Amino acid sequence: MSVPGSKVAVVEAVQGRLDELGTPLSETTFVVFDLETTGGSAAENAITEIGAVKIRGGEVLGEFATLVDPGGPIPPFITVLTGITDAMVMAAPRIESVLPSFLEFAYGSVLVAHNASFDMGFVKAACAAHGYPPPANPVVDTVDLARRALTRDEAPNCKLATLARVLGSRTEPSHRALADARATVDVLHALIERVGSFGVHTLEELKGFVRAPTPEQQRKRHLADAVPGEPGVYVFEDGDGHVLYVGKSTSLRTRVRSYFTASETRTRIREMIGIAERVRTIVCATPLEAEVRELRLIAENKPRYNRRSRFPEKVVWLKLTAEVFPRLSVVRELKDDGAAYLGPFSSARNAEYARDALHESVPLRRCTDRITLRKGRAACVLFEIGRCGAPCEGRQSAEEYASHVKVAREAMESDVRPVERAVQARIDLLSAELRYEEAAEDRDRLASYVRTAARMQRLAALSGLTELVAARPAFAGGWELHVIRYGRLAASGVMPRGAHPALYVEALTATAETVPPGAGPTPRASAEETDVILRWLVSPGVRLVQVDGTWSEPAHGAGRLKARLDAAYPRADPGGPRTPREGRPLR
């Protein structure tokens, strides 16, 4: 009913466009940032530089850049990498002064970083340390975006330098925060253009695009249909039966299914899914059996998509040769020839470090010629400086030389004190003469020797046992039982709750793999396998049931010194020796 003379407002309903259902990327404000730090751990290291660029619609709205005083010395290898020195940050503000300004600069925007988990980890750690709530900004990682938008043929990896080159960035990354942030801006713009062809035009679509499973993952979900839910090992194979990837899990079905979901974002694994045609599973009685089987399958098949594929032939050993006048030699094979071995080392360099440490304490010959009692040659300069008794020239008898060989063998197998004393004396002398770089080299040699000797002595103690049976309470009740022979897992089983243990132990040992003794500290299993077993043996709740032999480590072995070295030498290179912390002496 209408009232005469009144005006009626007519409102037309208009259906919104699809691109209005989200935030268009052209209207989204991004703050692209990068950090330089003193190391890789947010818990132990500090920020040295922050660089950020604010952009919207392809235009730069502002930049933020500052050095930050980390509150301590910058490690030399970080200075080499970034060019940031202690002198440069001496007058810089501390993070508690910089953080509020950065948070204000980033307020209301979408944070973007290359490998965002690293940079955000440091930002969150700084916020927690100084009483600020962690940033609630949405976060976009250009690494994840590149993995979805680019193929391996276009970009062999997702490093910032690689993407900047491939995508034509105007700025070359240089491990300085603002320059890297500018390069990341160019990479982000190029990737946004690329994903536009996939129908990605809003921020919500961009985030969903990164999380979405690939068509290959969706198409091959059926490979997980028949996978059981028990613990064990799973093996991805191609159409010809070649092993592509090996993994383990306490629930095979749950783990294998995760490879076909959006949570699996690793480029190499998504590539592997595209090749895989079947998943083979091996159900295991216990998690320890699954872990050991995984190690053995990786070592046997060397799957191309396992990052940690084992190559036993690439490890090296330090060998005290079995001859009239033995010497220390770096070798790749263990032989049952009566020689003493130290290892395994991950690289020849680390083996040479340990050899240098032993040579510092024991005057063994360093020539490679074979010396016999009847054949000799002229002595080298080591004799002149008192570092060798010149058995090659007949100046030292086999009996006299044997006393040095005995010390070297004991230093490798049971008593590290002579090496520790000799190397420490040289370190003290070099330090007193202000020759710190040379002293650091000697500390690296001592660390490589001690760490490897400690590990080998632990492995050799277990590998020397004819048989060990141990048990641990199972998660679902009962007991996990394992039979270990010469450091190798020979049998696994689960004893139900209330069962008679003697009968189960007798049955398990009777059906266990027959393992004969062999040469070397790890004769019948890889060092990795024996390491895994040792970790299980010292885990909470483990009980020793039977031990055939004496399980002990040498009283003067390397274990007592290793803890001190680990505290004094934070590892800078995971595969190499440790570098000393500033101001922390060895003793």
The DSSP 8-state label assigned to residue 24 in this structure reads B
Q: Name the residue with higher pLDDT: 187 or 497.
A: 187
- Position 571 scores a pLDDT of 53
Q: Say if residue 21's pLDDT is above 70.
A: no
215-310 placed in CATH 3.40.1440.10: yes
Confidence of residue 9 (pLDDT cuts 50, 70, 90): very low
Least confident of 313-327, 457-471, 523-537: 313-327
Q: Which helix (H) or strand (E) holds 62?
A: strand 59-67
- Position 583 scores a pLDDT of 34
Q: Which helix (H) or strand (E) holds 63?
A: strand 59-67
Q: Name the residue with higher pLDDT: 519 or 201.
A: 201
Least confident of 332-336, 355-359, 372-376, 389-393: 372-376
Q: Say if residue 384's pLDDT is above 70.
A: no
Q: Say if residue 470's pLDDT is above 90.
A: yes
Task: Give me the percent of the chain exceeding a pLDDT of 70.
Answer: 88
- On whether the CB atoms of residues 82 and 173 are closer than 8 A, the answer is no
Q: Say if residue 10's pLDDT is above 50.
A: no
Q: Say if residue 572's pLDDT is above 60.
A: no
Mean pLDDT of the chain, nearest integer: 85
**Distance of alpha carbon 584 from alpha carbon 124, whole angstroms:** 29
**Distance of alpha carbon 504 from alpha carbon 494, whole angstroms:** 9
- Position 511 scores a pLDDT of 93
- Position 86 scores a pLDDT of 93
Q: Which of 175, 242, 404, 556 is catalytic?
A: 175
- Is residue 175 flagged as an active site residue? yes
What mean pLDDT do residues 256-273 have? 84
Q: Say if residue 412's pLDDT is above 60.
A: yes
**Distance of alpha carbon 180 from alpha carbon 53, whole angstroms:** 10
Task: Give me the percent of the chain exceeding a pLDDT of 90.
Answer: 47
Q: Say if residue 578's pLDDT is above 70.
A: no
Confidence of residue 386 (pLDDT cuts 50, 70, 90): low
Q: For residue 21, count other CB atoms closer than 10 A to its CB.
A: 10
Confidence of residue 249 (pLDDT cuts 50, 70, 90): very high
Segment 81-132, tens digit of pLDDT: 999 999 999 999 999 999 999 999 999 999 999 999 999 999 999 999 999 9
| Pairing, β 59-67 against β 47-56 | antiparallel
**Distance of alpha carbon 218 from alpha carbon 220, whole angstroms:** 6
Domain with CATH 3.40.1440.10 in the chain: 215-310
- Position 586 scores a pLDDT of 41
Q: Which residue has the tokens 């420490």?
A: 424
- Position 19 scores a pLDDT of 43
Confidence of residue 53 (pLDDT cuts 50, 70, 90): very high
Segment 118-166, tens digit of pLDDT: 999 999 999 999 999 999 999 999 998 998 888 778 888 889 999 999 9
Segment 543-569, tens digit of pLDDT: 999 999 888 888 888 888 887 777 766
- Position 208 scores a pLDDT of 79
- Position 193 scores a pLDDT of 92
Between helices 95-106 and 116-129, what is the axis angle to 10°?
A: 120
- Position 377 scores a pLDDT of 60
Q: Say if residue 327's pLDDT is above 90.
A: no
- Position 376 scores a pLDDT of 54
Segment 197-234, tens digit of pLDDT: 888 889 988 887 877 777 778 889 899 998 998 899 99
Domain with CATH 3.30.420.10 in the chain: 20-211
Q: Say if residue 387's pLDDT is above 70.
A: no
Q: What is 20-211's CATH number?
A: 3.30.420.10
- Position 373 scores a pLDDT of 55
Q: Say if residue 310's pLDDT is above 80.
A: no
Q: Say if residue 1's pLDDT is above 60.
A: no
Q: Say if residue 13's pLDDT is above 60.
A: no
Taking Cα atoms as reference points, which of 535, 531, 483 lies closest to residue 509? Answer: 483
For CA atoms 256, 258, 261, 267, give the dihedral sign. negative
**Distance of alpha carbon 108 from alpha carbon 214, whole angstroms:** 31
3 state SS of 374? coil
Q: Say if residue 580's pLDDT is above 60.
A: no
Residue 68 sits at the vertex; the CA angle it makes with 63 and 69, to the nearest 5 degrees, is: 170
- Phi, psi of 493, rounded to the nearest 5 degrees: -170, 170
Q: Say if residue 383's pLDDT is above 70.
A: no
